[in-house]
Structure 1
Amino acid sequence: MKIHKIIIGSFLFVTAQFTAIAQTKQLAEADKLFNTRAYALAIKEYNKLISKGETSIDIYKKLGDAYYLNANYKEAANCYSKLIMPDLKNSDSEYLFKYAQTLRSNGKYDEAEKIMLQFNKIKQQDLRASKFIEKVNYLENLKNIKQKYILTNLKSNSVESDFAPSFYKDTLVFSSARDTGFLVNNVHEWNNRPFLNLHSAKKDSTDFIHLGSFAKELNTKTHESSTAFTKDGKTVYFTRNNSENGKFSPDKNGLSRLKIYKATLENGKWTNVTELPFNNDDYSVANPTLNYAEDKLYFASDMPGTLGASDIFVVAINSDGSFGIPQNLGAKINTEGRETFPYISESETLYFASDGHPGLGGLDIFYINLQQQNAEVSNMGKGVNSKQDDFSLIINESKNEGYFSSNRPKGKGSDDIYRFTTESISTNVNGKVIDKETKKTVANATVTIYDYENNNLIETISDENGFFTTEINLPEKKYRFIAKSNGYTDAVKYIYSPKNSTKNKEVILELQNSEEATAVGSDLTNYLKLKSIYFDTNSSYLRVESYPDLDKVANYMLENPTVVIEVGSHTDSTESDTYNLWLSKRRAKSTVKYLVSKGVEQSRISGIGFGESQLLNKCKNGVKCSNEEHAVNRRSEFIIINK
């Protein structure tokens, strides 16, 4: 009997050893899947281990994260709850934040607030904590948002994932996983969904109808998504996995990073597909969007210098098509969480998705006007935002409509594209026209109001006390107020009607005496409201964009035959001092030559090149500056030296 016990005990011991070895191997395989972002497969393996009695903290962290990154916030919350200590104090701070996020996504806002207050105690320097404390009553504020949205789930959506819409001519181009194909490897291991390709939809009388694959020459056996088109429709920027010969090209850790590519339209086909120079095999660069002037590209990335999981960056597009150095938009916008899917509207408002700013759960859509110095990041509010992930918004502000993606319940697929329209809400603007020097009010001044598309909306007259009242519409737009009165130069003021407030706005327009504005020593650039005078890179040849402004100078001089001016040309410090001085002299000479060709007497105009000797900011030799900072110093002046 004793021998039998020994044999049975030995058998059980060996079996336990084999079981332990097998589970260790299975755990290593699950971790490998997780580390290579094959989250759908990792979820299966971790759940198998849990069913066999594995309950380690590390497993629940990774399983929770795999669910979190697949937007399954209910299951993620279940995993994270096992990581939270009863007193909260000894919990991993990052998982406190994630747990709070998943609680919001499940509508448990009171519990989420309790967790976030503890998160703030532990991580007071964390931007997500400080932004929560700054807006601790954000839920109440969201309830008070007056803006209402009317949503439509597009007919062009499928049972798969459809997201990241962009405007292209009279169509929407978007990313879709509806191309299932016939091969097993057409299913991506991140979320067990088919690979993404670019598709398009065209608007009929009431909705969008799916047209099919967009530009088959751009679609490969990797993911393609997130397009941004130039206004002429001849250039596209888009996101694609790092690839070689149309297939995934993983890094040393088995990850295929995201990159932004550029293509041009030739003879009806997209060709010249090239990746942008700031892509890198060691990090992702994705979700491009162009500003209205098309001289800046915004995108999301986890490149070095990123504050969180992903940040929003901007890079200058130079006149020769080259790119500057990417710049992080900073802590006002980015947090230690995820900031992604940027979009820049015509009014230079940045819309983006984030789980780092206080929201309703998952990713929320936020906005901030980049032209307003003291603007704050604001939540779009309920309707556009939900308890789930809401992201990749685009908007046509002039039509008060836009599109965004969401995985909210009752959609057709895992992600759907929704059209939203906004109901106009009016607010009053109380204005005053004054003399800039005396501060006295100016009666009977004409005040004209334009929108960002330069449409003349309203014209009114200041009363005998210099006051006027008018009405503008929400949602947010940039409005330009111009006041005119005899004997004065025009006064210009920009204001923004905030999306979530119906409070009356005030604007003061300061008129400057026209004699003072054109006194000896003054710069006609200000008086004539001139833009930059453009030259080709490292060239003294004027570009045609400069002709209209130079014509203004010529006309002014022809109308004022006693005025004598000096053209001053300035450069930045990016080349040598000697070269910049030489180049600026040639540019001044070219400018004078153009004005003389328009009938201005040679004796009334002279030119001088200053090179980089009169910089307006810190950007001298040896100081690292952005292209935008250098651009401040590339200028022309038209100084009145005699009248």
Structure 2
Amino acid sequence: MMRKKIITSILFLVVLQNLVSAQSRQLEEIDQLFNTKSYALAIKGYKNLIEKGISSYDIYKKLGDAFYLNANYIEASKCYAKLFNYKDITIDPEYIYKYAQTLKSAGNYEESNTRMQEFETIKKQDLRVAKYSEKQNYLDEIKNLNKKYTVTNLSSNSAESDFAPSLYKDTLVFASSRDTGLLINNVHDWNNRPFLNLHTAVRNDSLDYRYHSNFAKELNSKTHESSTVFTKDGKTVYFTRNNSENGKFSPDKNGLSRLKIYKASLENGSWTNITELPFNSDDYSTANPSLNYTEDKLYFASDMPSSLGASDIFVVDIKPDGSFGNPINLGKKINTEGRETFPFISDSETLYFASDGHPGLGGLDIFYTNLQKEDRVLNMGKDINSREDDFSLIINETENKGFFASNRPNGYGSDDIYTFIGEPLIHFETVRIHGKIVDKVTNTVLPNAKITIYDYTTNNLFETYSKMDGSFEAEIQVPEKKYRFIAKLEGYDATVLYLRSPSVKENIKDVVMLMGKENSKSGTSVGSDLTNVLQLKSIYFDINSSYLRVESYPDLDKVYQFMLEHPELKIEVGSHTDSTESDTYNLWLSKRRAKSTVNYLIGKGIDASRITDVGFGETQLLNECSNGVKCSDDKHSKNRRSEFIIVNE
């Protein structure tokens, strides 16, 4: 009997030892998946162990990280909470911070603040602590922001991840992991989703976009591509791609394929000369490029050795010969020990970026600061930001609208692209200018000239008349807004002056507008409208469409021939609508129509530098047919017109 018990005990110990050994090997295999960034598979493995009753501090920490890095902050928070049950282990302060962050996504801001105070006592020198201490009332500050936005989820989104929007001409280009049937079973172990490729969407109406197609098959590979930015002439693109060779991942010593920024040029309708930028490395990542207005600086995110945290924002000079300077870290005002990523630099030198190091609502929030004025870093507010990840914002500050991505609830998929429109972030100040109308031959002043001033930012018109001494006054705004002054007087050719206000409030020198005697024969004086000079008919479009109709081609060919005969001239194509649709829609439609007209002339061979487009919508009606006024279609048709104004820019 005793012998049987001994044998049974020995067999039990052998089975137990084999079981423990098998579990140990299984844990090692799962840890290896975690270490090689196969987080989706690691999550499945760790959860399987926990379901079997096997858990530890290290398992919960890694499972929490795997959820965190896949932006599943609710599940990550549950895992990090378990760490505090292990009283005999000192918790890494970074996990106290991560727990505080993930608590926000669960809406538990009170407990989050408690954990941040705990983090503060341990890491007094941490930049995130300093920023939290400066803004302990950050929730009230965000709540009380006056900025309001209308946010719309785009119908072009899919059940997969869609993010990193950019504009290429009128097309929305974005990164997506949607399955288009081109790369079967091409799934990334990080998140168990298909690899990212570049896709496009086209506008449905003033706010929505519909999915169109893949963008540039020559740029898409079997690795990830995302985060594009295009030069204004549309001939160069910078984009993010995994470090790869012959279309396959090139891992570093830890098995991780780093991100790199690449550059490509458009030749004969195809993207070619795909080259990586010289400051890339196999040992760290560079990603999410953004160009400044003058296209001589490139902003990007990186974890290169000089980074303060998980990723920082950098800037590098683009030299006139196309070479690059040395990347510069934007410093402690912008960067923290956390994640700063997805920079976008606007025309006003305002930097927009995503961060989980600055106090926010949860996950990544979007912040902004003007680099020229050294403004504070400010949160974009609760319409743009949520408890989840909000990132990759681009904005047109002139039109006060843009796009961003978010994995907030009730979307189409894991990350969705949203469009927004709202109040301007730039606050303009008014300055008064003094002008004078003068005969350009006799140098005598001209009274009673009608001066029409058009504001390109607000689409507002202001009219005034020159006094007996030829002078006039007007108010314009700073910083850096563009205006068009048109002076008209019987017996004289109209004259046009363009003025861009300065970047700061300062005195503006007197504006002098020279007018010459009417010269209807040549029709080549500045301010002349080729519609009258060449006796053009209307430029025809289908209703609610920006596509040119063939009936317009003969008249546009007259403009083309005129420009060939006068190579020194530049023109501005202006498109106008009636008031039968909304103001916003009409403005958008007129811009599209003006651009279509310009593209026709460029396609015929006119240099793009000689012709510009502007849409006026219903801001310059020729009669009383404004909103709410009943008019016949004949009267409305008088406002559906195009202009071809000779300019001096």
Q: Is 1:227 equivalent to 2:228 in the alignment?
A: yes
**In structure 2, what is the equivalent of residue 9 of structure 1?**
9
Q: Secondary structure at the match of 2:358?
A: coil
1:92 Cα shift?
2.1
Q: Secondary structure at the match of 1:164?
A: strand
Between the aligned partners of 2:273 and 2:189, the Cα distance in structure 1 is: 30
Between the aligned partners of 2:14 and 2:86, the Cα distance in structure 1 is: 38
Between the aligned partners of 1:9 and 1:144, the Cα distance in structure 2 is: 70
- 1:27-42 matches, within 5 Å, as 27-42=27-42
Between the aligned partners of 2:454 and 2:362, the Cα distance in structure 1 is: 38
**In structure 1, what is the equivalent of residue 594 of structure 2?**
none
Q: Is 1:369 equivalent to 2:359 in the alignment?
A: no
1:428 Cα shift?
8.7
1:53 Cα shift?
2.7
**In structure 2, what is the equivalent of residue 347 of structure 1?**
348
Between the aligned partners of 1:452 and 1:8, the Cα distance in structure 2 is: 90
- Note closer, same or farther for the CA distance 1:393–1:458 as it changes in structure 2 (3 Å cut): farther
Structure 2 contact 457–482 (Cα < 8 Å) conserved: no
Q: Which runs of 5+ in 1 are unaligned?
A: 434-448, 461-467, 483-491, 496-506, 513-643
TM-score norm. by structure 2 comes to: 0.67
- Note closer, same or farther for the CA distance 1:424–1:298 as it changes in structure 2 (3 Å cut): closer
User: What residue identity is the alignment partner of 1:403?
Assistant: F
Between the aligned partners of 2:48 and 2:227, the Cα distance in structure 1 is: 36
- 1:297-446 matches, within 5 Å, as 297-373=298-374, 375-423=375-423
User: What residue identity is the alignment partner of 1:286?
Assistant: A
Structure 2 contact 200–212 (Cα < 8 Å) conserved: yes
**In structure 1, what is the equivalent of residue 516 of structure 2?**
none
- 1:147-158 matches, within 5 Å, as 147-158=147-158
Structure 2 contact 432–476 (Cα < 8 Å) conserved: no
- 1:90-129 matches, within 5 Å, as 90-129=90-129
Deviation per residue, 1:466-514 (Å, 9 max, x gap) = xx99897xxxx845799xxxxxxxxx9745xxxxxxxxxxx6x4799xx
1:28 Cα shift?
1.2
Between the aligned partners of 1:145 and 1:88, the Cα distance in structure 2 is: 44
Q: Indicate the larger mover: 179-188 or 288-297.
A: 179-188
- Note closer, same or farther for the CA distance 1:450–1:425 as it changes in structure 2 (3 Å cut): farther
**In structure 1, what is the equivalent of residue 179 of structure 2?**
179
Between the aligned partners of 1:108 and 1:190, the Cα distance in structure 2 is: 28
Structure 1 contact 89–118 (Cα < 8 Å) conserved: no
1:424 Cα shift?
5.8
- Note closer, same or farther for the CA distance 1:217–1:238 as it changes in structure 2 (3 Å cut): same
Between the aligned partners of 2:479 and 2:40, the Cα distance in structure 1 is: 45
Deviation per residue, 1:193-251 (Å, 9 max, x gap) = 11110001111334211111000111110000000100000000000011111111112
User: What residue identity is the alignment partner of 1:331?
Assistant: K
**In structure 2, what is the equivalent of residue 258 of structure 1?**
259
How many residue pairs end up in the alignment? 468
Aligned-residue identity in percent: 65
- Note closer, same or farther for the CA distance 1:205–1:450 as it changes in structure 2 (3 Å cut): closer
- Note closer, same or farther for the CA distance 1:348–1:455 as it changes in structure 2 (3 Å cut): farther
Between the aligned partners of 1:153 and 1:84, the Cα distance in structure 2 is: 39
1:84 Cα shift?
2.5
Between the aligned partners of 1:23 and 1:266, the Cα distance in structure 2 is: 57
1:191 Cα shift?
0.5
1:182 Cα shift?
7.7
**In structure 2, what is the equivalent of residue 136 of structure 1?**
136
- Note closer, same or farther for the CA distance 1:74–1:304 as it changes in structure 2 (3 Å cut): same
Between the aligned partners of 1:183 and 1:8, the Cα distance in structure 2 is: 55
1:452 Cα shift?
10
Between the aligned partners of 2:111 and 2:321, the Cα distance in structure 1 is: 54
Between the aligned partners of 2:79 and 2:260, the Cα distance in structure 1 is: 32
Deviation per residue, 1:324-366 (Å, 9 max, x gap) = 0111111100000000000011111110000000000000000
Between the aligned partners of 2:233 and 2:16, the Cα distance in structure 1 is: 69
Deviation per residue, 1:570-613 (Å, 9 max, x gap) = xxxxxxxxxxxxxxxxxxxxxxxxxxxxxxxxxxxxxxxxxxxx
Q: Indicate the larger mover: 5-14 or 361-370.
A: 5-14
- Note closer, same or farther for the CA distance 1:204–1:184 as it changes in structure 2 (3 Å cut): closer
Q: Which runs of 5+ in 2 are unaligned?
A: 434-452, 465-472, 484-500, 510-649
TM-score norm. by structure 1 comes to: 0.68
Between the aligned partners of 2:36 and 2:271, the Cα distance in structure 1 is: 32
Structure 1 contact 227–239 (Cα < 8 Å) conserved: yes
Runs of 4+ in 1 over 3 A off after TM superposition: 85-91, 180-185, 423-433, 449-460, 468-472, 477-482, 492-495, 509-512
CA RMSD of aligned residues (A): 3.3
User: What residue identity is the alignment partner of 1:127?
Assistant: L
Structure 1 contact 288–299 (Cα < 8 Å) conserved: yes
Q: Indicate the larger mover: 213-222 or 242-251.
A: 242-251
Structure 1 contact 250–257 (Cα < 8 Å) conserved: yes
Deviation per residue, 1:154-173 (Å, 9 max, x gap) = 11111111100001101110
